[in-house]
């Protein structure tokens, strides 16, 4: 072995949000369901959701099709109610941890609907939405938490996010996601760990607040 030869192993590029609001580590699936945020809106909130189509079934293209207005509503009886529905999210994290992006962060995705946080209504105006492929009735995958960790850290760096909440917290009585199986404690610990051990990123004291304290 030539010890003088520097061998560069393949280094994964750090995750980032580019100037256009895209995460290059996410597969881009541009959705037509977006518009502009109000002038002066500060992106201060991160909203965690779950979604599965049909409910409780994972894989397939139905979620992506929904966000791209390409869902065949005849494909499953439960899809009938989605006829004409125009919704989106900024990000979707699939069961295997793959991240897809539908709307640039700087634009307004249509994920929260009628909602309110700390007296501010219409949370789409000032939030980023992350959908986890999942349901209210079963645990999420470790790969999803790891992708969520990476994505959250770059979003915190790119945007003045001060709070992380579930959809259920900003639309109580109407929405139940991400539901009881989303592990807020694990999520927060992953963020704190990264902030403490990966030099960089985010000082621990700058981490956003969570709906539930550890
Ligand atoms: Zn939701």
Beta-carbon-side half-sphere exposure of residue 147 (alpha carbons within 13 Å): 25
Instruction: Give whichever of 9-13, 89-93, 161-165, 184-188 has the largest mean pLDDT.
Output: 89-93
Q: Rounded to an integer, what distance in angstroms lies between the CA atom of residue 34 and that of residue 25? A: 21
CA 164 to ligand 1 center in whole angstroms: 13
- Higher per-residue pLDDT: 6 or 210: 210
- Residue 75 DSSP label: S
User: For 74-78, 89-93, 157-161, which range has the lowest pLDDT when averaged over its residues?
Assistant: 157-161
Q: Rounded to an integer, what distance in angstroms lies between the CA atom of residue 84 and that of residue 71? A: 10
Residues above pLDDT 90, as percent of the chain: 78
Q: Rounded to an integer, what distance in angstroms lies between the CA atom of residue 180 and that of residue 135? A: 9
Looking at residue 213, what is its pLDDT?
38
CA 20 to ligand 1 center in whole angstroms: 25
Looking at residue 197, what is its pLDDT?
72
Looking at residue 207, what is its pLDDT?
67
The DSSP bridge partners found for residue 166 are: 48
CA 32 to ligand 1 center in whole angstroms: 19
**pLDDT tens-digit series, residues 123-152:** 999 999 999 999 999 999 999 999 999 999
Q: Confidence band (pLDDT; 50, 70, 90) for 193?
A: confident
CA 132 to ligand 1 center in whole angstroms: 9
- Higher per-residue pLDDT: 11 or 180: 180
Residue 64 has pLDDT above 60, yes or no: yes
CA 19 to ligand 1 center in whole angstroms: 27
The DSSP H or E segment spanning 169 is helix 167-170
Residue 63 has pLDDT above 80, yes or no: yes
Q: Rounded to an integer, what distance in angstroms lies between the CA atom of residue 89 and that of residue 94? A: 13
Any idea which fold 27-206 has?
A: Lysozyme-like (3.40.80)
Three-state SS for 36? coil
**pLDDT tens-digit series, residues 143-181:** 999 999 999 989 988 999 989 999 999 999 999 999 999
Residues above pLDDT 70, as percent of the chain: 86
User: Where in the sequence numbering do the catalytic residues fall?
Assistant: 131
Looking at residue 14, what is its pLDDT?
77
Contact indicator for 63, 150 with CB cutoff of 8 Å: no
**pLDDT tens-digit series, residues 105-128:** 999 999 999 999 999 999 999 999
């Amino acid at each position: 072995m030539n010890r003088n030869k520097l061998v560069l192993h393949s280094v994964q590029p750090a995750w980032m949000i580019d100037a256009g609001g895209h995460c290059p580590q996410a597969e881009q699936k541009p959705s037509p369901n977006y518009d502009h945020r109000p002038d002066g809106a500060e992106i201060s909130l991160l909203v965690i959701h779950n979604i599965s189509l049909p409910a409780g079934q994972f894989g397939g293209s139905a979620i992506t099709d929904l966000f791209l207005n390409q869902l065949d509503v005849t494909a499953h009886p439960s899809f009938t109610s989605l006829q004409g529905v125009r919704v989106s999210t900024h990000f979707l994290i699939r069961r295997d941890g793959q991240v897809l992006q539908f709307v640039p962060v700087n634009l307004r995705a249509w994920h929260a609907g009628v909602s309110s946080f700390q007296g501010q209504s219409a949370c789409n105006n000032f939030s980023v939405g992350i959908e986890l492929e999942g349901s209210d009735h079963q645990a999420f995958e470790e790969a999803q938490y790891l992708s969520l960790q990476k994505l959250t850290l770059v979003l915190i760096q790119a945007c003045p996010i001060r709070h992380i909440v579930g959809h259920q917290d900003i639309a109580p009585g109407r929405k139940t996601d991400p539901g009881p199986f989303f592990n807020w404690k694990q999520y927060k610990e992953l963020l704190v760990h990264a902030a403490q051990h990966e030099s960089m990123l985010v000082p621990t004291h700058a981490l956003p607040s969570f709906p539930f304290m550890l």
